[in-house]
Structure formats: structure tokens, C-alpha cells
């Protein structure tokens, strides 16, 4: 009998023995959280419907939300999907391994649970050497959503996973802080023109440089085709108020609240306007120098910290809407309280 409820989650190092144990556990139907360059994924053997069912259970993820299948090498693609056109192939060539997820026609081998019954499957080849080594050694494609409870902040460190899911999963491979810090860009290439379903770690401009214009789905769409489009997602426990860049209010920030600035410059401007907020306001800066890559990598870390600090509310400003700033603003918007 398989052990579905190990009494204790085990932390593994990203070395040869750790990779070997993680791979064997995955192949054997256990759940292993693995580091990728975007966020930590909660991995299960994609061909093992029971293991995949447990992913939904552990995340409390609604059954309609399909998972991303991760492969180590291009030779692993044929088992799960095919390229519908030359454009899709060009994108894979240009950006895999990397933070791009492609929606592709699936093979019959992929369990319906993985795709929520769709005839397409989301596939990505992660760039993280530990993730690829584990998937390669497991010898199976790995279905892996972000390793967090559904709707909550994504994990960018092993300790985030341990805190959120540690009592419910089998292993966590500690690969340190993730490099990119926001999820992959999800691109549907099955239609006439490529469509970004979720902005993410690969900027739209990088995609357009290879294949020309791509569309970006309307994120307030009433009927999401991709649950990453759900209006409320990636949210902290505290209510998050999102304002325009440079527009953090002077007056409404109260005791025990948290403030998220894009850069040191925006904090300085705010301070010049308002003076100090007092010791009971917790301030965080996404990137002192105003670098969007750094801001993306810091985003979930900062929100986790504020939640851990037990702040009553969070005030955050948007970042410049270019490059990775699009993904940062998207996650901030989804984490925010809408009136």
C-alpha cells in the first residue's frame, strides 16, 4: 500500500542523494515540492491520477483548475502533448527551458484530472537545474501547481512551503530562494493568434520579438478560461489595498498596517510628504533601486513577511507596467481587495 499520509514531511537537500530520493518518491506516487526558477511547485507524477487527486486535496484546489505538466527535456513532450503549429515549436525552441507555459493539444495518456477534462494541456520545461534533474530522474512528466493552498500567496522559498503545506505533503526539496519569484507566463498557442492567459515571468515583449503580436486576455473577464485569471488569487490573509504608483495615501495608513513601496525613491517621496509613519507601520521595499526583476523576485517574499508579522492591512503601490512589472501588477491586483 502506498503511504498517503506520512507522519512527517521530510526536507531534502538539492544534492545527488536528495534529487534521487525526490525522483523515486515522485515516480512512486508521493507528493514532492520542488524549486523552480519561478515559484516552488507541488509535484506529482502526471500519469498517476491518484497522486494528482491528492494535489487537489492538499491545495484545496477546485476541480476545474487544470495543472501545468513539467518536462525535463524536449524528448519528454511527445508523451503528453504535441505542437499544433510551427509558431508553437518556435516558441518552445526560443524559451524552453524557461518561464513560459504553452497550452498544447494533449495526448490520451494525460489523465483528465490534470487538464480538468480539457483536450489541451499546459506544458512547461523549467530552467531550474534541480527541477530538471528531479523530473529527468523520475522518468515521468510532473504535474505541479504552485505549492500553496489555493488562492493564497505563492511560495518562493522552501520555508514558505513547509509553513503552508508541511503537514500534508511528503517531501520538500530546499533549493533556496527562487530566481524569478512570479509564476510562468501562460500562453495559449492553439488558436489563430497566441493569447497570454496569465502574464508571468516571461515578458510579453520577449514573446513578441520572436513571433510578432500576441493578445493579452482581459483579466476581469467574467468567464475565465484559465483560473490564473480569477479575480481573487495569490492573496495574503490581510486585506491588500492597491493604489497607483506614487499614490500611497498619507492619511488612511493606521497603526499595525503594512506599506509596500516599489523603490527607495518612492519611499523617500512618501516620507517627504508625510514624515515618518511611526514604529507600528511595517514598511517594505520591493526593489531599492527600482529594478523590476528584483521587484518580481521580492513580491511574494514581502507579502509572506507582512502576513507573518500579522499586519492588519496592506497598502501597496503599482510598479511601472513594463517587462516583469506587468506580472507584478497582475499579482498585486489579484491579491487586492476589490470594492
The three three-digit cell numbers of residue 213, written as one number: 503580436
Site for Mg ion contains 38 (CB under 5 A): no
> Which residue has cell 484530472?
113
CA dihedral 331, 124, 38, 138 (to 10 degrees): 140
Smallest distance, Å, CB 17 to ligand AMP?
28
Give the nearest residue (CB) to Mg ion: 146
Contact 201, 180 (CB under 8 A): yes
3-state secondary structure of 46: coil
Residue 146 binds Mg ion, judged by CB under 5 A: yes
310-316-318 Cα angle (round to 5): 155
- Measured CA to CA, the distance from residue 244 to residue 321 in angstroms comes to 11
Q: Which entry of ligand AMP, Mg ion, none binds 121, CB below 5 to 8 A by partner kind?
A: ligand AMP
Q: Which does 37 bind (CB under 5 to 8 A by kind): Mg ion, ligand AMP, none?
A: none
| Nearer to Mg ion (CB atom), residue 146 or residue 329 | 146
- Residues 6+ positions from 171 with CB-CB distance below 8 Å: 9, 10, 11, 12, 21, 22, 25, 30, 31, 32, 33
34: preceding bond cis by omega (within 30 degrees) = no
Instruction: Please choose which of ligand AMP, Mg ion, none residue 170 contacts, taking the beta carbon within 5 to 8 angstroms, the exact cut-off set by kind.
Output: none
Binds 287, which of Mg ion, ligand AMP, none (CB < 5 to 8 A, cut-off by type)?
Answer: none
Sole window of 75-83, 145-153, 249-257, 293-301 interacting with Mg ion (rule: CB under 5 A):
145-153
Q: Give the nearer residue to ligand AMP in terms of CB position, either 221 or 225.
A: 225
By a kind-dependent CB cut-off of 5 to 8 A, residue 155 interacts, out of Mg ion, ligand AMP, none, with none
Q: What residues make contact with ligand AMP under the rule CB under 6 A?
A: 65-68, 103, 115, 118, 120-122, 145-146, 183, 186, 197-198, 225-228
Give the C-alpha separation, 260 to 109, whole Å.
45
Q: How far apart are the first and last CA of the chain?
A: 50
Of the pair 148, 263, the CB lying nearest ligand AMP is at: 148
Which range, of 128-136, 140-148, 219-227, 242-250, touches Mg ion by CB under 5 A? 140-148
Rounded to 5 degrees, φ, ψ at 45 are: -55, 115
Q: Where in 174-203 is the site for Mg ion (CB under 5 A)?
A: none
- Using an 8 Å Cβ cutoff, are 145 and 42 in contact? yes
Q: How far is the CB of 96 from ligand AMP (least distance, A)?
A: 16
- Least Cβ distance, residue 281 to ligand AMP (angstroms): 31
* CB atoms closer than 10 angstroms to residue 2: 10
Identify what 141 binds: ligand AMP, Mg ion, none; CB under 5 to 8 Å per kind. none
Considering beta carbons, is residue 225 or 252 the nearer one to ligand AMP?
225
Residue facing ligand AMP at closest CB distance = 228
Residue 101, C-alpha cell as written in the block: 507555459
| Cα gap 1→174, rounded to integer Å | 28
The region that residue 290 occupies, defined by phi over 0 for left and psi between -120 and 50 for alpha, beta otherwise, is left
Contact between 226 and Mg ion per CB under 5 A: no
Query: Which residue, 186 or 301, has its beta carbon nearer to ligand AMP?
Result: 186
Residues contributing to the site for Mg ion (CB under 5 A): 146
Amino acid at each position: 500500500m502506498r503511504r498517503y499520509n506520512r507522519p512527517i514531511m521530510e526536507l531534502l537537500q538539492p544534492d545527488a542523494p536528495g534529487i534521487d530520493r525526490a525522483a523515486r518518491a515522485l515516480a512512486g506516487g508521493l507528493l514532492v515540492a520542488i524549486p523552480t526558477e519561478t515559484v516552488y511547485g507541488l509535484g506529482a507524477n502526471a500519469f498517476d491520477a491518484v497522486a494528482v487527486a491528492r494535489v487537489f486535496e492538499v491545495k484545496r484546489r477546485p476541480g476545474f483548475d487544470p495543472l501545468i505538466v513539467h518536462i525535463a527535456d524536449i524528448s519528454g513532450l511527445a508523451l503528453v502533448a504535441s505542437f499544433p503549429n510551427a509558431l508553437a515549436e518556435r516558441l518552445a525552441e526560443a524559451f524552453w527551458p524557461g518561464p513560459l507555459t504553452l497550452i498544447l493539444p494533449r495526448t490520451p495518456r494525460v489523465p483528465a484530472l490534470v487538464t480538468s477534462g480539457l483536450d489541451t494541456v499546459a506544458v512547461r520545461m523549467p530552467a531550474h537545474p534541480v527541477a530538471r534533474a528531479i523530473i529527468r530522474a523520475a522518468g515521468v512528466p510532473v504535474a505541479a501547481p504552485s505549492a500553496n493552498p489555493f488562492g493564497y500567496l505563492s511560495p518562493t522559498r522552501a520555508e514558505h512551503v513547509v509553513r503552508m503545506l508541511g503537514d500534508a505533503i511528503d517531501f520538500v526539496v530546499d533549493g533556496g530562494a527562487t530566481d524569478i519569484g512570479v509564476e510562468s507566463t501562460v500562453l495559449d498557442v492553439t488558436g489563430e493568434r497566441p493569447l497570454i492567459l496569465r502574464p508571468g515571468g516571461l515578458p510579453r515583449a520577449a514573446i513578441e520579438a520572436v513571433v510578432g503580436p500576441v493578445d493579452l486576455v482581459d483579466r476581469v473577464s467574467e468567464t475565465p478560461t484559465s483560473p490564473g485569471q480569477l479575480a481573487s488569487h495569490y492573496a495574503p490573509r490581510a486585506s491588500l489595498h492597491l493604489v497607483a504608483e506614487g499614490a500611497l495615501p498619507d492619511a488612511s495608513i493606521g497603526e499595525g498596517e503594512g506599506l509596500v513601496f516599489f523603490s527607495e525613491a518612492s519611499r523617500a517621496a512618501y516620507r517627504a510628504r508625510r514624515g515618518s509613519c511611526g514604529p507600528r507601520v511595517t514598511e517594505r521595499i520591493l526593489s531599492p533601486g527600482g529594478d523590476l526583476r528584483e521587484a518580481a523576485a521580492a513580491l511574494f517574499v514581502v507579502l509572506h513577511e507582512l502576513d507573518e508579522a500579522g499586519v492588519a492591512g496592506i497598502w501597496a503601490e503599482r510598479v511601472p507596467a513594463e517587462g516583469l512589472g506587468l506580472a507584478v501588477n497582475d499579482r498585486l491586483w489579484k491579491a487586492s481587495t476589490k470594492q
